[in-house]
């Protein structure tokens, strides 16, 4: 027997953004598909007309693409299949697995209130299940509207969850739920089962908030005589305060992290390890490696906490893995956007940009850090950090910087070694420690007191810029100390 082809899907409803939880489910499904050489599909659950607008769907697809989750086959839109769903509720009535319910919304509300008052079960009381064929016929002839309800069998249902093992639920806990509304349109669970069947989905991997739906869906599969997929329910992602991750609580969606300089591979890596484990101590993997080592039995049934600091730490590691050239290419438009430079300037100074990347890379946790840390490589400082000013902007600094500017100006080549030697020679001449020269020089050329090694900065900035900035700083010091 040939094993069944692995076909999985992510089924977002249109919300205008990709929730990190949905992103993580998409990654889990994608890894399962790619590892097995199967198919990863996208279905948009947009039966709600209001929500089928492109602006609510496009950002989700964009974010999936950004994460590298290329899907196979055409996207399936539920809104285009509404007529297709209709016949299945009729089929279920004909096979005796469902029945027509003529109860009006008012009557159902009254039932519920009565049950509440009597502290009885809130389930539908099956009033219409006992209608005789004649009674049904008369109501239909009279043009009465009906919804279609599944007829839940007696007993209990067990299925084997890929994540949590056997899960059992008493059927009576689930009421005879509605599978089609009075206009004949399918409700959520019926549409999902029809779609998963038509798409030949082999594994349904989703959040564990869908377990109740799964039990409902299992009864629909059985009623329609269709084979069940494998179900796996992954615990939801929690915030560090143990609340469910939610935009309403200020949590970010995937594109916000992108805008803040998180790399797609870092996001992919971090989300893949939330609720799934490679069962080794190693944490940093490329998507390709994750595809290779993915194992569907390694899902974790415990809750997973989304920790932004950890994501940042992953990002830092992924930045180190990226080539300087690739970082420079990603950064170039960001630098232009931040008004640090122009496209034109960068076009002829690619190597300079790459050198800047090499210097700043070990310090960057996000791509946006490069922007923040690199401004003095593009613009002369207009301000100097306060602590540095207080310490260095004193009359004694003036001759130190003057002597250095002169030495630097006289150098034939301006390199790491030559600038280091010039500074050491000047320190020796003045009979002071090198530190006395290093700090004001750093402040003069960068405006700040930390950063990469001073000689690296000097060699990268170049002779002309360095001398010019030191001289300008001397003028500033003269002004403030006069």
- Residues involved in catalysis: 247
81 binds ligand GLU (CB under 6 A): no
300, 14 Cβ separation under 8 angstroms: no
In the complex, minimum distance from the CB of residue 15 to ligand GLU, in angstroms, rounded to a whole number: 8
Q: By C-beta, is 26 or 474 nearer to ligand GLU?
A: 26
Locate all alpha helices (DSSP H) within 37-187, ordered by sequence: 54-66, 82-94, 105-117, 133-141
51 binds ligand GLU (CB under 6 A): no
Tell me how far CA of residue 191 lies from CA of 57, 203, 354, in angstroms.
19, 17, 53
Q: By C-beta, is 150 or 477 nearer to ligand GLU?
A: 150
210 binds ligand GLU (CB under 6 A): yes
User: What CA dihedral angle connects 352, 357, 358 and 360, to 10 degrees?
Assistant: 130
In the complex, minimum distance from the CB of residue 53 to ligand GLU, in angstroms, rounded to a whole number: 16
Q: By C-beta, is 44 or 178 nearer to ligand GLU?
A: 44
Contact pattern for ligand GLU over residues 291 through 330, marking x by CB under 6 A: ----------------------------------------
Contact pattern for ligand GLU over residues 166 through 195, marking x by CB under 6 A: --------------------------x---
In the complex, minimum distance from the CB of residue 44 to ligand GLU, in angstroms, rounded to a whole number: 9
In the complex, minimum distance from the CB of residue 204 to ligand GLU, in angstroms, rounded to a whole number: 6
Residue at token pair 């349109």: 185
* Phi then psi dihedrals of residue 166, to 5 deg: -65, 130
Of 10-18, 156-164, 303-311, 473-481, the window that binds ligand GLU (rule: CB under 6 A) is 10-18
Q: By C-beta, is 193 or 405 nearer to ligand GLU?
A: 193
Distance CA 306, CA 243 (A): 10
Host H or E run for residue 27: helix 20-36
Segment 12-41, which members bind ligand GLU (CB under 6 A)? 12-13, 22
Distance CA 7, CA 5 (A): 6
The alpha carbon dihedral of 302, 303, 306, 307 has a sign of negative
Length of the chain: 482
Size of the site for ligand GLU (CB under 6 A): 8
Of 8-16, 345-353, 364-372, 436-444, the window that binds ligand GLU (rule: CB under 6 A) is 8-16
Distance CA 363, CA 453 (A): 12
Distance CA 198, CA 186 (A): 15
Host H or E run for residue 154: none
Q: By C-beta, is 60 or 437 nearer to ligand GLU?
A: 60
98, 92 Cβ separation under 8 angstroms: yes
In the complex, minimum distance from the CB of residue 242 to ligand GLU, in angstroms, rounded to a whole number: 21
In the complex, minimum distance from the CB of residue 11 to ligand GLU, in angstroms, rounded to a whole number: 4
11 binds ligand GLU (CB under 6 A): yes
In the complex, minimum distance from the CB of residue 42 to ligand GLU, in angstroms, rounded to a whole number: 11
426 binds ligand GLU (CB under 6 A): no
Distance CA 275, CA 289 (A): 18
* Phi then psi dihedrals of residue 233, to 5 deg: -115, 115
45 binds ligand GLU (CB under 6 A): yes
Of 7-15, 107-115, 285-293, 340-348, the window that binds ligand GLU (rule: CB under 6 A) is 7-15
135, 102 Cβ separation under 8 angstroms: no
453: number of Cβ within 10 Å: 13
CA nearest to 215, candidates 244, 182, 253, 173: 173
Which two tokens mark 207? 């959040």
Q: By C-beta, is 206 or 361 nearer to ligand GLU?
A: 206
In the complex, minimum distance from the CB of residue 206 to ligand GLU, in angstroms, rounded to a whole number: 4
Q: By C-beta, is 13 or 202 nearer to ligand GLU?
A: 13
Of 6-14, 116-124, 155-163, 345-353, the window that binds ligand GLU (rule: CB under 6 A) is 6-14
206 binds ligand GLU (CB under 6 A): yes
Q: By C-beta, is 78 or 315 nearer to ligand GLU?
A: 78
44, 75 Cβ separation under 8 angstroms: yes
143, 117 Cβ separation under 8 angstroms: no
Please report, as ranges, the residues that interact with ligand GLU according to CB under 6 A. Answer: 11-13, 22, 45, 192, 206, 210
């Amino acid at each position: 027997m040939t094993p069944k082809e692995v076909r999985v899907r992510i089924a977002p409803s249109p919300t205008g953004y990709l929730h990190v939880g949905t992103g993580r489910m998409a990654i889990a499904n994608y890894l399962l598909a790619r590892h097995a050489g199967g198919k990863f599909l996208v279905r948009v659950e947009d039966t709600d007309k209001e929500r089928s607008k492109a602006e609510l769907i496009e950002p989700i697809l964009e974010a999936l693409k950004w994460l590298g989750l290329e899907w196979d086959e055409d996207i399936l839109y539920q809104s285009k299949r509404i007529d297709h769903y209709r016949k299945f509720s009729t089929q279920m009535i004909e096979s005796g697995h469902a029945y027509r319910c003529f109860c009006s919304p008012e009557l159902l509300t009254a039932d519920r209130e009565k049950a509440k008052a009597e502290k009885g079960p809130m389930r539908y009381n099956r009033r219409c299940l006992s209608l005789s064929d004649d009674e049904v016929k008369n109501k239909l002839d009279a043009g009465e509207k009906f919804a279609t309800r599944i007829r839940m069998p007696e007993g209990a249902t067990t299925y084997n969850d890929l994540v949590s093992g056997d899960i059992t639920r008493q059927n009576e806990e689930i009421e005879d739920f509605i599978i089609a509304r009075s206009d004949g349109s399918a409700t959520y669970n019926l549409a999902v089962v029809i779609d998963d069947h038509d798409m030949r989905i082999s594994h349904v991997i989703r959040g564990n908030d869908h377990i109740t739906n799964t039990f409902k869906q299992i009864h629909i599969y059985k009623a329609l005589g269709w084979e069940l997929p494998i179900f796996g329910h992954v615990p939801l992602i929690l915030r560090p305060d143990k609340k469910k991750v939610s935009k309403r609580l200020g949590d970010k969606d995937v594109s916000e992290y992108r805008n803040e300089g998180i790399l797609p591979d870092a996001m992919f890596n971090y989300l893949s390890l939330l609720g799934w484990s490679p069962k080794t101590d190693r944490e940093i993997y490329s998507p390709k490696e994750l595809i290779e080592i993915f194992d569907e039995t390694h899902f974790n049934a415990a809750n997973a906490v989304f920790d932004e600091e950890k994501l940042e730490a992953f990002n830092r590691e992924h930045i180190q893995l990226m080539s300087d050239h690739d970082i420079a290419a990603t950064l170039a438009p960001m630098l232009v956007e931040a008004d640090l430079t122009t496209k034109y300037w960068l076009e002829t100074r690619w190597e300079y940009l790459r050198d800047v990347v090499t210097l700043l890379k070990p310090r960057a946790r996000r791509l946006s850090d490069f922007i923040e840390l690199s401004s003095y490589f593009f613009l002369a400082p207009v301000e100097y950090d306060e602590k540095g000013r207080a310490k260095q902007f004193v009359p004694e600094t003036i001759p130190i910087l003057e002597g250095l500017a002169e030495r630097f100006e006289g150098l034939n080549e301006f390199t790491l070694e030559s600038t280091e030697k010039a500074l050491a020679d000047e320190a020796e001449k003045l009979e002071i420690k090198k530190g006395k020269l290093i700090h004001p020089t750093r402040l003069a050329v960068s405006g700040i007191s930390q950063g990469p090694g001073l000689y690296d900065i000097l060699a990268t900035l170049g002779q002309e810029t360095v001398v010019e900035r030191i001289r300008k700083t001397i003028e500033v010091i003269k002004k403030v100390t006069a």
